[in-house]
A = this chain, B = another copy of it.
Amino acid sequence: MKTELCERFGIEVPIFGFSHAVEVVAAVTNAGGYGVYGATRRLAEEITDEVAQIRAAVGERPFGLDLVIPNKVPEKNDRAELEKLVPEAHRRFIDGLETKYAVPKPSEPGMRTRFIRSEEIQDSQIAAVAESDVNMVALGIGCPPEVVKLMKSKGKTTVALVGQERHAARALEAGVDLLVAQGYDAGGHTGQVGTFSLVPRIVDMAGSVPVLAAGGVATGRHIAAALTLGAQGVWIGTAFLMTEEYRPHLSEGEMDALLNAQATDTVISRAESGKPFRQTRSAWSEEWTLPDAPAPLSHPLHDVLVGDILGAIIEHDIRPLQHYGAGQGIGWFDRLRPVSEVMNTLVREGDLALARSYQFSGETA
């Protein structure tokens, strides 16, 4: 399975693997793909350290790092000031959930939401990334032209995730090297246009800028279909959750939620971060849809509200509320495998699907 992008980026197969675990990122890269570390909830010094860890594991092979840079965040990371902005009704709603589901307080309040996204934090993250030797920087939300310019000046490949044509236009204008067309089927923060509908639209807009397909890419057939739609590769997250390398990063409850979920068991909810976020359906997502529930707050204020209870749900294993970000491909994954096996399976099946599709063409005659 080869596309032009492989040679250009020095990889063997056009599979980009996103993960919040350095072990998974390294394993994807070492399996011939392009590992991408989701670093957006990491502090600058942690980013520096983790990039060094991945580099040590992969040698000269390329890997990337993903940040989200929303337009509007507070200037300073002043939690006390932000706490004042949380409406009383929202506090009462969270208190009600704690009572209803018997959720104790977390042992370390503020642990899960160690920082609230602010300009200050973002600037320090960006500086750490720019100074690191990571090969690629992906922007999961937002695409400030000055960040693209900075990263390019440091010799890094720049990538933007886009969920609609308007976002793609902005990212192309900012000069990114690669677009990820991420459809509604995706896990985590995502948009409203189905992957199948989105990918060829973005491909046609992008001209000579290559496009990766994201959102529901779970099998080699999906990769073959993505290339057929005009993408030059794929961006995968969900498949790498159900791996031996990722296991230490999941609670028992999170793992069970993921292993048992089908596509129809995922739901897009603003209850996680204030922005639409696909996750496994749980009492957490459902409670926020009940008639008396308040609307989630905006991001990042919502983080201030829910950080402690989300941390406590995991710490104290409150099963009905446990959930995890995952895409509509989740139904394909019902056991833990090593990352290398996931990669090999994807490539083998993708090659077969591509070879097979030729037979349908009228061009064979």
Residues of A near any B CB (own CB < 8 A): 1-3, 164-166, 183-185, 192-198, 200-201, 215-216, 218-219, 221-222, 224-230, 262-264, 327-329, 331-332, 347, 350-358, 360-364
Among B185, B224, B360, which residue has its beta carbon within 8 angstroms of that of A2?
A: B360
Rounded to whole Å, the gap between the CB of A285 and the closest CB of chain B is: 13
With A194-B328, A196-B194, A328-B197 as given contacts, are A360 and B1 in contact (CB-CB < 8 Å)? yes
Among B192, B196, B227, which residue has its beta carbon within 8 angstroms of that of A196?
A: B196
A221 surroundings in chain B (CB, below 8 A):
200, 228-230
- Whether B194 contacts A222 by the Cβ 8 Å rule is no
Among residues of B, the one whose C-beta sits closest to the C-beta of A185 is B194
A165 surroundings in chain B (CB, below 8 A):
262-264, 331
Give bound CA distance, A200 to B3, whole Å.
Answer: 23
Rounded to whole Å, the gap between the CB of A1 and the closest CB of chain B is: 5
With A196-B183, A331-B201 as given contacts, are A355 and B361 in contact (CB-CB < 8 Å)? yes
A216 surroundings in chain B (CB, below 8 A):
194, 196-197
Rounded to whole Å, the gap between the CB of A127 and the closest CB of chain B is: 35
With A358-B357, A361-B351 as given contacts, are A197 and B225 in contact (CB-CB < 8 Å)? no
- Whether B215 contacts A224 by the Cβ 8 Å rule is no
Residue with the greatest number of chain B CB neighbours at <10 A, chosen from A165, A222, A225, A350: A225
User: What are 5 A-B pairs at a CB distance below 8 A?
Assistant: A194-B216, A347-B362, A351-B362, A351-B363, A357-B358
A332 surroundings in chain B (CB, below 8 A):
201
Q: Which 4 A-B pairs have the closest CB atoms?
A: A185-B194, A354-B361, A197-B328, A197-B216
Among residues of B, the one whose C-beta sits closest to the C-beta of A184 is B194
A185 surroundings in chain B (CB, below 8 A):
193-194, 196-197
A361 surroundings in chain B (CB, below 8 A):
1, 224, 350-352, 354-355
Give bound CA distance, A357 to B198, whole Å.
Answer: 19
- Whether A215 contacts B194 by the Cβ 8 Å rule is yes
Among B192, B228, B350, which residue has its beta carbon within 8 angstroms of that of A224?
A: B228
- Whether B197 contacts A195 by the Cβ 8 Å rule is yes
Residue with the greatest number of chain B CB neighbours at <10 A, chosen from A2, A216, A364: A216
A1 surroundings in chain B (CB, below 8 A):
360-362
- Whether B196 contacts A225 by the Cβ 8 Å rule is yes
A364 surroundings in chain B (CB, below 8 A):
355
Rounded to whole Å, the gap between the CB of A185 and the closest CB of chain B is: 4
Give bound CA distance, A361 to B363, whole Å.
Answer: 17
Give bound CA distance, A354 to B164, whole Å.
Answer: 26
Give bound CA distance, A357 to B227, whole Å.
Answer: 7
Give bound CA distance, A111 to B185, whole Å.
Answer: 39
Rounded to whole Å, the gap between the CB of A331 and the closest CB of chain B is: 6
- Whether B197 contacts A228 by the Cβ 8 Å rule is no
- Whether B362 contacts A164 by the Cβ 8 Å rule is no
Among residues of B, the one whose C-beta sits closest to the C-beta of A12 is B362
Among residues of B, the one whose C-beta sits closest to the C-beta of A195 is B196
Residue with the greatest number of chain B CB neighbours at <10 A, chosen from A219, A228, A355: A228
A329 surroundings in chain B (CB, below 8 A):
197
Give bound CA distance, A251 to B175, whole Å.
Answer: 42
